[in-house]
Structure 1
Amino acid sequence: MRPVTVRTIKIGEGRPKICVPIVEAEKEGILAQAAALRGLPLDMAEWRADWYQDVQDISRVVDTVRELRKVLGDLPLLFTIRTAAEGGAVKMAAEAYAELCAAVARSGYADLIDVEVFTARETAEDIVREVHRAGAKVVASNHDFHKTPPKEELLRRFRHMEALGADIWKIAVMPQNGRDVLTLLDATLTMTEAEDCSPVISMSMAALGAVSRLSGEVFGSAVTFAAAGRASAPGQISVDKMSEMLDILRI
């Protein structure tokens, strides 16, 4: 796997990196939650901007991400607009989505930009190009809150992300049974066994899939998401417990 360096961390090397989402509606709450992350055992933060009440206003989003950068200091920041089509909190036209992702990338305050490459299918290639031109990294993402596709379909989606030139490839799926969890883990391992693979983030959601959030170092998922306050997806474990369990598994 080729690690991706983001500020002080190397994603895809060593223990899976712990990312904590910031999920608040108002600017004051966003900044307060960011400040509360100090001292917690995390490696990076994610701003789930789809929860932000002014997410449709580019100037306000950029202003808030600028203030967020001040609070986070040198902690790597992933900027995410999770659309309703993929389980998020906002509906947004494709053009507006692309424009907002590019604007935040150009601001220089976010290190990584999440791009829903299947929901934003027609504009995904342009978004990836604009984010890279701005000097930020792309996390290509895909979320299925209803089912776990077959292994070959998961591999196809990962390879599509690779073809787009994304720096990190992320898939999250909903399991219906234990074999669905195994399918997700098997697809992740298959992808990451290749020496030239980019970092992969994968997770099987809800309580049934919680093991996938812990076993990244074995099966190849480079980042795991943990909660500090409100969770952004079903099955997230608290950041303190996550760090402790990852250390125990390493022992």
Structure 2
Amino acid sequence: MANPTVKVGNTVLGSGRPKIAVPITGKTQEDILSQAADIKAAQPDVVEWRIDFFDGVLDADRLAETGKALHDAIGDLALLTTFRTKGEGGELVLDDAGYFQVCENVVAGDFTDALDVERYHEESAVKGIIEKAHAQKVVIIMSNHGFDKTPAEDDIVGRLTSMVEYGADVAKMAVMPNSVQDVITLLEATHRASLSLSKPIITMSMGDLGKVSRIAGEVFGSSLSFGTVGAASAPGQVALDHLKVELEDLKLS
């Protein structure tokens, strides 16, 4: 059976070597476009704009203006836009109403190929933003992050499954290992979910212990890995130039 795939801009997730995303974490439009130029030169597959770092994130007009400038600056690279809440490792505290207003502003701004939506918000609000995004042909990458521990294998598979059931195009989980066994648990859950779900998945075990999970996606079934050009946005991210070589070395013929 062929692996499920989803197209984000010109990039296909779920086929062949895991694709590579690089985060942009600039606070001002000038910073963001400067980072974009460096990242474009390094040629990842996806640019993730972490708008929780952007000082204009709550201003819909500034968000759209900067988003369009960024989309133009990165050219053919796919753009994923992410507001990461404080509880899931982000920079800014927003209540649910504020979070979903930002997500709606991203969709209405008509600049992104994909939107990250965190799974554990109120169900109707999550499903509502998915519906609005899909109406604008915006791909939904649904996410959940645990910065303290690694859940049980069945729990990880269950969370990824619920994301697909909610309507996500891609399901993503990042967890923190406290032991080698935790890394194995994440990889086993990834393998199981990749075989059972109808959508591509993205998983990672964070920190130094989990780095192996960032390069072994093709074997275990994770469709995207996050690398760095400059500042990292999560613990354990590998420099893009290293990650490209490591993914190529571990490719399946």
Q: TM-score range, shorter-chain basis? A: over 0.9
Q: State the percentage of identical aligned residues.
A: 39
> Which ranges of structure 1 fall in alignment gaps of 5 or more residues?
none
Moved over 6 A (4+): none
Aligned residue runs from structure 1 range 229-248, under 5 A: 229-248=230-249
Equivalenced residue count is 250
Q: Aligned residue for 1:219?
A: 220
> Shift in Å at residue 250 of structure 1?
2.0
Structure 2 distance, partners of 1:121, 1:179, is 32
> Shift in Å at residue 38 of structure 1?
2.4
Structure 1 distance, partners of 2:227, 2:163, is 24
One of 9, 16, 21 as aligned partner of 1:7: 9
- TM-score, length basis structure 2: 0.95
Structure 2 distance, partners of 1:49, 1:107, is 13
Deviations 1:10-39 (A, max 9, x none): 110000000000011111000110011223
Aligned residue runs from structure 1 range 21-170, under 5 A: 21-119=23-121, 121=123, 123-170=125-172
> Which ranges of structure 2 fall in alignment gaps of 5 or more residues?
none
> Shift in Å at residue 186 of structure 1?
0.6
- Secondary structure at the counterpart of residue 53 of structure 1: coil
- Secondary structure at the counterpart of residue 163 of structure 1: helix
One of 166, 184, 187 as aligned partner of 2:186: 184
> Shift in Å at residue 121 of structure 1?
4.5
Deviates most, 171-180 or 87-96: 87-96
Structure 2 distance, partners of 1:119, 1:179, is 29
> Shift in Å at residue 117 of structure 1?
1.3
Q: Aligned residue for 2:198?
A: 197
Deviations 1:52-75 (A, max 9, x none): 112222221111101101101121
Q: Please tell me whether the aligned partners of residues 168 and 199 of structure 1 are also in contact (alpha carbons under 8 angstroms).
A: yes
Q: Please tell me whether the aligned partners of residues 85 and 119 of structure 1 are also in contact (alpha carbons under 8 angstroms).
A: no
> Shift in Å at residue 120 of structure 1?
5.0
